Amino acid sequence: MAYHAHVLVIASVTATSDDLLSALKARAERGPIDVTLLLPSSGPGLSGRETARGQCQAALGKWGEAGIEADSIVGSSDPIEAVHEAWDPGRFDEIIVSTLPGKSSRWLRLDYPHRVAAFTGAPVTHVVAMDMRPEPAHGPPPEHERSPLGPLGVLAWGGPREGGSS
């Protein structure tokens, strides 16, 4: 029986990302893996955890269709606390953290991948889910009211004056 690496995947809105799935497939090609998805709940209380369970099922279904079987854990709505709850050095060998790209990622603003590595001491792979970027606005820019002065309208600070002269 071959050794299976135990991989903890931490994701939230990116759990169904094609980029994350590609990273999981690439990791599975290097050797057998047992995967557990840790998804922080979407809010406090039971309703936040139920929403996260739905996200877990959607992700695990997509991964399963691609040949990646996994278990899941719904953690605290605080992503740092969720790792503290789930981390067991005897259970996991490595971690994959999936985030949104750039400024749209709250996790990157928290330096989350590095914080997870520092807390766990495990190797962490950071996957940026580029396919989850918001669509840019399409079409022409909105039309603005035209000034009778044309481009010089920016110089008409006081606006139109009524009545006499200055």
| CATH code of 113's domain | 3.40.50.620
Residue 135 or residue 77, greater confidence: 77
pLDDT tier, 132 (very low <50, low <70, confident <90, very high otherwise): confident
Does some domain include residue 140?
no
Q: What value does the mean pLDDT take over residues 134-138?
A: 60
Does some domain include residue 124?
yes
Does some domain include residue 23?
yes
**100 close to 12: Cβ distance less than 8 angstroms:** no
Does some domain include residue 156?
no
Does some domain include residue 94?
yes
Cβ neighbours of 107 (radius 10 Å): 23
* Model pTM score: 0.78
CA-to-CA separations, 98 to 13, 108, 110, 127, in angstroms, rounded: 9, 10, 13, 5
Lowest mean pLDDT among 39-53, 124-138, 139-153: 139-153
Determine phi and psi for 75, rounding to 5 degrees: -105, -170
8 SS3 class:
strand
Identify the domain containing residue 85 by its residue range. Answer: 5-132
Cβ neighbours of 156 (radius 10 Å): 12
pLDDT over 90 (residue 138) = no
Does some domain include residue 112?
yes
Does some domain include residue 158?
no
22-32 per-position pLDDT tens digit: 999 999 999 99
pLDDT of the residue at 143: 64
What total number of domains does the chain contain? 1
pLDDT of the residue at 157: 53
Does some domain include residue 60?
yes
